[in-house]
Chains A and B, each alone.
Chain A
Amino acid sequence: MKYLVFQLAGEEFGIQVQKVREIMGVQDITQVPQTPPYVKGVINLRGKVIPVVDLRLKFTMPSVEYTQRTCIIVVEAAGERGPMLMGVVVDAVAEVLSVSPGEVEEAPSFGHDVDTSYILGLGKVKGQVKILLDIDRVMTARELKHLELAAG
């Protein structure tokens, strides 16, 4: 299985390559009111309006200024009504990596502090750990609704 590896606050994450549609630099993002802070807004992807999520904020990491290396990875995630495109903002894209099933370990439970529901598993490659994400679950409409309810 091939993964696109990217960095977030010094940690390395992986997304299945077949979920990735394209990688672009940060462009003008239009904010959408009444949404949680990690929803940065929407962008124009060749005529389509797609949402953009900041993964640092999503994973409650400290936010940073966007730089030249900051990227938007456009992924195709499973929505409630079929596939939907969305962009995720990451610190930098590192590489494409093959991870064999034998190198993947199930995410251990960390109790209440760490939400592991969107972690597919932990990949151990050359002594390093990559956190493999289930992008379908990172931002689903259901979760968004849930968050909105929680917020107010």
Chain B
Amino acid sequence: MVEQLLARLDELGAKAVLTGAGAPETLRVLSKLEEEARNAGRDDAARSVEDLARAVISASDAEKDRLMKAGLENLRRLLESSGKAAAPSPIAQDPELIRDFVNEADEHLAEVEAQVLALERDPSSIDPLHAAFRSFHTIKGLAGFLDLQSIREVSHEVETLLDRARKRDLAVTSGLNDGVLERADYLKRAIRAVESSLQGAAGPDPPSVKILARVRAALAQREPTPVVAAERESRAPDQEAAAPDPSKDQEARSDKQAGSTLRVDASRLDYMMDMVGELVIAQSLVSHDPQLRSLENGSLHRRLNQLGRITGEVQRMAMGLRMMPVGHLFSRMRRLVRDLARKNGKQVRLETQGEETELDKTIIEAIADPLMHMVRNSLDHGVEPTQERLAKGKPAEGCVVLAASHQTGHIILRVSDDGRGLNTEGILKKARERALIAPNQSLSENEIFHLIFLPGFSTAEKITDVSGRGVGMDVVRRQIEGLRGRIDIESTLNQGTTFHLRLPLTLAIIDGLIVGVGQERYILPLSSVREMLRPTPQMLFTIEQKAEMAMIRGALLPVVRLNRRFEIPSAVDNPCEGLFVVAECEGRRFCLLVDQLLGKQEVVIKSMGEAFRNVAEISGGAILGDGRVGLILDLNGVFREAVHA
């Protein structure tokens, strides 16, 4: 953390020298540094950056550089001194306990968020208050035990607030809700700081007393808010409370689920998966053993079949252990939608469907960012402001739907809004302006939609501070494709836009094509294979007697002979006796020549470890049906290295 801040400080120094201390670029870096310092829990540094910025802006040109120089030195001292000379914090004492605390507190804070949002839908219900109170109470207790004073004290204050609310001593208002969420956010940051101090030996301090003072001040200011809001509430009859809350049952259910879960170390789970994989192979070797097969023993065969069924079930269960319902991710979006709608002054409702759909935890984590970006996009550019909606004859409240469902070994995630829809003409115009397409190129509607995924494309008229800041839809697409997924768009002008994401259920398994070259077998990811064919002499061309090409359906594709590429003997020399696998990666196609196709199989991807991480052609290993290791090829690496060679 401190290293990161120091790196930013260096950048700042460089910018100040190159562009001048008062230049906008320099000030931008300055504000970035301030934000990072705050995120790192270094409010002392953040404040001194703030002071520096103010001083530099108001100083005369001649003064600016001198001030900047002094300020930089000052900051460096501040950062470095507390990075190293911090008194041994209690955190160093029991990392195990702290790690548990971080995990548990995260869960409680997620719970708090869900409960506050439930409370917003139905301010009269008391259960969310109890639940949120319990969560803060637990955090307080744990933090006290671990001597994390600031976390303990903030939790304590919120707990007090919630306690008053549940005794009906304090009205449940948006002011209270905001206050609780703000505190939860503060605690999240404090917990991140604790976590990072666990990782680095000389990480930042645990949240300092100074931060607490700041939060205290905020709390003090906030105190009267609930009262004011209470008055407002007494004037306006609460409409929301009248509506029955369909999500209540569900929340109660998730409550129960949370109570009966068990945290397991990920490495143990991996080990179990390895062993289950081995069990399946051993079982299959035993039941296909020719000697056993030839025995005329009915009960033996019945038992073998029984063993096979149980093994299969165990494997399915083990695979399922990594799966998590996607609902948790959806509820994180709920908070985002709420905050953004408020910020943009729009009325937006989030609907979720298929929360119970399960997928691999690693995928859930990996799609959080792209999903968040798409939701932001919908709120910023999709859903219109209330006036505009009313003028179009639409309901004042916009609606964003997140839906998940299973489809033949994949999960389909849908993000849709009932907003403006994509404006094909606007997109075309922009794409031509930016020379992303040729001026007279004609495109289908779908192709036009896909232009928004091109790097450097952003139709937003003005850049808001949420979407359209550097990361665009091109990043979203890259992230989704990195997960071996696909993204499609459906949109009707003035009716809305829907993004369809198609993702594998797990990253741990791929559909593989097993091919043979000489004595070796390799696994090709099926998702990169377009077709397979036996080449004919008419297809083949050589360029300057060296590079080989193949003409396939009018397209001229480079040929890579896997045996030559890997310098291994092959059973066939004449390509026409082998097999062409037409592969596509990063938008380019090429033909891979192998001896023969051995089969198609789902394989569990195993890491090859650090020893082979420089081998670009191999992305991992897999245990094949006979217990031997097969190598999974990285087709992109195979092709790239072939071109360079």
Q: Which residues of A contact B (CB under 8 A)?
A: 28, 30-35, 39, 41-44, 46-51, 79-81, 84-86, 139, 141, 144-145, 148
In the assembled complex, 29 residue pairs joining A and B whose CB atoms fall closer than 8 Å, in A order, are A28-B628, A30-B621, A30-B630, A32-B608, A32-B612, A32-B618, A33-B565, A33-B568, A34-B566, A34-B617, A34-B641, A35-B612, A42-B631, A46-B278, A47-B275, A47-B278, A47-B606, A48-B606, A49-B608, A49-B621, A51-B608, A79-B611, A84-B609, A84-B610, A85-B609, A144-B611, A144-B614, A145-B614, A148-B614
Nearest-Cβ distance from residue A29 to partner chain B, whole angstroms: 8
Total A-B Cβ pairs within 8 A: 84
- A33 and B614 contact, Cβ closer than 8 Å, known pairs A44-B628, A46-B275, A84-B609: no
Question: Interface on chain B toward A: helix, strand, loop, or mixed SS?
Answer: mixed
Chain B residues positioned under 8 Å from A49 (CB to CB): 606-609, 620-621, 623, 629
A141 and B611 contact, CB distance less than 8 A? yes
A42 and B608 contact, CB distance less than 8 A? yes
Nearest-Cβ distance from residue A55 to partner chain B, whole angstroms: 15
B613 and A141 contact, CB distance less than 8 A? yes
Chain A residues positioned under 8 Å from B520 (CB to CB): 30-31
A33 and B617 contact, CB distance less than 8 A? yes
B629 and A42 contact, CB distance less than 8 A? yes
Q: A42-B612, A47-B278, A81-B610 known; 13 other A-B pairs, CB under 8 Å?
A: A30-B621, A33-B568, A34-B615, A34-B617, A42-B608, A46-B274, A47-B623, A49-B606, A49-B609, A80-B610, A141-B610, A144-B611, A144-B614
Nearest-Cβ distance from residue A62 to partner chain B, whole angstroms: 22
B249 within 8 A of A: no
Looking at chain B, what size class is its interface with the partner chain? Answer: 20 to 34
Alpha-carbon separation in the docked complex, A28 to B278 (Å): 16
Chain A residues positioned under 8 Å from B566 (CB to CB): 33-34
Nearest-Cβ distance from residue A105 to partner chain B, whole angstroms: 31
B627 within 8 A of A: yes
Nearest-Cβ distance from residue B463 to partner chain A, whole angstroms: 39
Scoring A32, A35, A43, A139 by chain B CB atoms within 10 A of each residue's CB, the highest score goes to: A32
Alpha-carbon separation in the docked complex, A145 to B620 (Å): 18
B 255-285 to A, binary, CB cutoff 8 A, 1 in contact else 0: 0000000000000000001110110000000
Scoring B566, B612, B630 by chain A CB atoms within 10 A of each residue's CB, the highest score goes to: B612
B567 and A33 contact, CB distance less than 8 A? yes
CB closest chain-A residue, reference B604: A47
Chain A residues positioned under 8 Å from B608 (CB to CB): 32, 42, 49, 51
CB closest chain-B residue, reference A84: B609
B615 and A33 contact, CB distance less than 8 A? yes
Q: Within B588-638, which residues are at the interface with A (CB < 8 Å)? A: 606-618, 620-621, 623, 627-631
Alpha-carbon separation in the docked complex, A30 to B614 (Å): 17
Chain A residues positioned under 8 Å from B629 (CB to CB): 30, 41-44, 49
- A35 and B610 contact, Cβ closer than 8 Å, known pairs A28-B628, A47-B275, A47-B278: no
